Structure 1
């Protein structure tokens, strides 16, 4: 197909999303390199993202453009071999078990604490904030941590497990405000080192450990923003681990992104550049994995709050870029912009959700009134 034909085909597709090539609207695409059309039609979302990283196109409102693309489902017209390979691997290959479980730590979470400290705000909490009564990122993250503690009904002296503890902020908050002692596990060396220093002087132990290895008892078990790295073939094993570690009468909370889509459909660009071996769960997968292990006491969706969280992260990242530029190049900056914009669009278009599930082993007698 000729260059002109490819460009016309692209223009016709984009018209369905209200996007023009080289138009004047903030959500219009400005093309700097005509090779973009062949690249995108050959490689779909992977080609679109790589072309942006290489400076082949721009948009004044990148999250807005990508929201239009997803809302109009134009991505479904660009399924390529790269897409099929990513979906095949996610469905049939267990990429989250054994040595593979540590790959995400090295590839993403060990990029540098300086990057995440600059982006995430006062607390290094790399998950959706709770904006019901907050008007800034720091307050939204504190509200989320407190919401988790209240849902779990944490009390002084309880022993709590944080699966995927990140930089230790959630355990620190719970120890300082609810008097608990805790164990946090992570697969990132940099996170573990930071968390140990952050929680120094508190009754908290931080381990570099795979959750499958856990076999000890806790009053409460939670996971915030980690389940996305578990993988569909391991969901049952994850919940079996939680059940094994949770005392009778205890509560567990799962905070994770959830998809409206069919299972095992990771994006090839995200898989390659941001979160290797990751998978967003579908509700059908979660409920099947829970059967016979837990009662779902509450299922809370506040996915739209991720739009505000990601927008705040991008503003922080841009403000810190003059300092970060000494360690990260321009292609990384564009890659990170694309990642945050694509993520914003996924939630703004309501393709993905943010779920908090409260679970009990045998059901709370009389039911559980879960706070909001």
Structure 2
């Protein structure tokens, strides 16, 4: 989707369309609310031994608050705020004076307004159009950047779109302010290799000087299956989304931000999706009443694919902290 500004010769891509967002979070969200737990957090948690999904999600929220140095801050921006769990946590547990949450989902915004949390301002707004009333002390974006680049296969275009986001963040932040970002991210070899190459080849690519591995017929067959499953998830569950790589995000922020911390946590993804899948299967009948049996089947199929891809280290839960320079 392109939004025309000024004339037909000038177009600016603003990320996932409003229609796709409503499909993902308002329509499918009717089912997700049965499976995500009371915090309604639709992103990968941070797990330790003995955790429940709920405790692991709260640990993740606290991690980002601390990584962004948001505790005690006057103003914090939550980009892609979902159903507001981080906003509430920042105010109630991290003594943040005022939190602004951005979402393009009218349903999520209505949910947050109904909660009436103090010092939480919700805006149905694309980050591209955001004009803050004052500078922010910290910005947190948890699994939002997957919506920013669309489905372009051109790396340079993706980086340019990510850079626009970092430019906006740079202008919104006070000096020395931080962005704490979490994303589903392809491994270092990029999207196509991450999807189609067998796990042994992906592992060898990460080792300098490793011998090349030849591909057999089964490898080629499995690669086509992975492409098919990835395309199904893109069409039915996450339309107009694309996963970045760590290198793309680092390059996009260069000169604007210093990278202060990088974590790759695929096991957190595995544990979270496993918990979601278990709850999705348990709520399948009720979910079919809400959004239809086919839509529920699409979600369960996508979650099974995600588990497979995470186990094979095709993608990861990437967490990065950027500091304004």
Q: TM-score, normalised by structure 2?
A: 0.77
Instruction: Give how far 1:348 is off.
Output: 1.2
**In 2, are the aligned partners of 1:125 and 1:166 still within 8 Å (CA)?**
yes
- Give the Cα separation in 2 of the matches to 1:361 and 1:157: 16
Q: Which residue is 1:271 aligned to?
A: 234
Tell me, yes or no, if structure 1 residue 210 matches structure 2 residue 126.
Answer: yes
Runs of 4+ in 1 over 4 A off after TM superposition: 263-266
Q: Which residue is 1:225 aligned to?
A: 143
Structure 2 residue matching 1:271: 3-state secondary structure: helix
User: Cα gap change, 1:268/1:205 in structure 2, threshold over 3 Å: closer, same or farther?
Assistant: same
- Give the Cα separation in 2 of the matches to 1:107 and 1:114: 10
Unaligned runs of 5+ residues in structure 1 are 1-94, 363-372
Q: Which residue is 1:188 aligned to?
A: 105
Structure 2 residue matching 1:292: 3-state secondary structure: coil
Match of residue 174, structure 2, among 243, 247, 261: 247
**In 2, are the aligned partners of 1:221 and 1:242 still within 8 Å (CA)?**
yes
- Give the Cα separation in 2 of the matches to 1:147 and 1:211: 23
Instruction: Give how far 1:96 is off.
Output: 9.0
Structure 2 residue matching 1:353: 3-state secondary structure: strand
**In 2, are the aligned partners of 1:96 and 1:277 still within 8 Å (CA)?**
no
- Give the Cα separation in 2 of the matches to 1:343 and 1:263: 14
Q: Over aligned residue pairs, what C-alpha RMSD do you find?
A: 2.0
- Count of residues paired in the alignment: 267
- Give the Cα separation in 1 of the matches to 2:71 and 2:168: 23
**In 1, are the aligned partners of 2:287 and 2:296 still within 8 Å (CA)?**
no
Unaligned runs of 5+ residues in structure 2 are 1-10, 150-157, 196-226
Match of residue 290, structure 2, among 304, 322, 327: 327
Match of residue 302, structure 2, among 339, 342, 353: 339
Residue deviations 1:44-99, cap 9 Å, x none? xxxxxxxxxxxxxxxxxxxxxxxxxxxxxxxxxxxxxxxxxxxxxxxxxxx99348
Q: Which residue is 2:163 aligned to?
A: 236
Residue deviations 1:119-158, cap 9 Å, x none? 1012111000100345210111011111111212223352
- Give the Cα separation in 2 of the matches to 1:240 and 1:276: 25
Instruction: Give how far 1:280 is off.
Output: 0.4
* Mapping of residues 1-372 of structure 1, within 5 Å: 97-98=13-14, 100-180=16-96, 181-198=98-115, 200-216=116-132, 217-231=135-149, 232=158, 233-260=160-187, 261-263=189-191, 267-362=230-325
- Give the Cα separation in 2 of the matches to 1:99 and 1:263: 18
Q: TM-score, normalised by structure 1?
A: 0.68
Q: Which residue is 1:41 aligned to?
A: none
**In 1, are the aligned partners of 2:246 and 2:318 still within 8 Å (CA)?**
no
- Give the Cα separation in 2 of the matches to 1:313 and 1:346: 16
